[in-house]
Amino acid sequence: MSRTEFLAALKAGLRGTPASAIDEIVADYSAHFDEGAAANRSEADVAAALGDPLALADELRLESRIDTFEAAPSPRSAAQVIADVIALGIVNTVLLCVAAPLLVIAGLALALAILAFIGGGAWFLFAGSSLELPGGIGTTVLGGLGLIAAAVSLAATLLLAAKALISGLGRYARLRFRLLPRASQPGKSP
């Protein structure tokens, strides 16, 4: 993702935030790209390090609404903060209660499939000749090696998917819990 695309998506995600706050946030994130360029990092690397601009915008919009409420408490600003926290809670609940169990079930099913492919491949290699398939021993050896190769490629795909999932969950957690250190430090106002 380029600098222009990242900043445009961030700005679009901040709709509803005061214009002065949007300009300040966009300037801050533009500075990240300037610092990256000075360190010979590509725009794509900087954008990847910053994360998903729309998820970031959600978090920044909530943070802005909390700051607005703390600066001048009003029923309207309180309602906005409550609505944003509820929406964030719904997303967290869906991820925790629906997506996570489905991902675990899918991972277990793929692990069982990998074991089945390995077991089938081993059986083909050592006992497949009892099937008396056309082509003789060559067919059973190639069939067994093919099943084992399928298991290896499925395992590699599962590992890559797990890495991407864990990386995505890490980014998600960083965005969601970014406010916690400020609020949990004694003696510091949020």
CA 82/CA 76 separation, integer angstroms: 10
pLDDT at 159: 87
pLDDT over 70 percentage in the chain: 88
Q: What is the mean pLDDT of residues 6-22?
A: 86
Centre a 10 Å sphere on the Cβ of residue 148 and count the other Cβ atoms it contains.
Answer: 18
Q: Which of 22-31, 107-116, 124-133 has the lowest mean pLDDT?
A: 124-133
- Does residue 178 have a pLDDT over 70? no
| 183 close to 143: Cβ distance less than 8 angstroms | no
Which range, 21-30, 96-105, 112-121, 178-187, has the best average confidence (pLDDT)? 112-121
- Does residue 168 have a pLDDT over 80? no
pLDDT at 181: 43
Task: Give residue limits of the domains in the chain.
Answer: 1-73, 100-185
- Does residue 109 have a pLDDT over 80? yes
One-letter-per-residue 3-state SS of 29-43: HHHHHHHHHHCCCCH
CA 133/CA 127 separation, integer angstroms: 12
What pLDDT, in 10s, does the model give residues 137-162?
Answer: 888 889 899 999 999 999 999 888 88
DSSP code at position 17: S
One-letter-per-residue 3-state SS of 28-97: HHHHHHHHHHHCCCCHHHHHHHHCCHHHHHHHHHHHHHHHHHHHCCCHHHHHHHHHHHHHHHHHHHHHHH
Centre a 10 Å sphere on the Cβ of residue 97 and count the other Cβ atoms it contains.
Answer: 10
pLDDT: which is higher, 109 or 165:
109
Which residues, other chains included, contact 66 with Cβ-Cβ below 8 Å and sequence gap of 6+? Answer: 81, 179, 190
pLDDT: which is higher, 177 or 97:
97
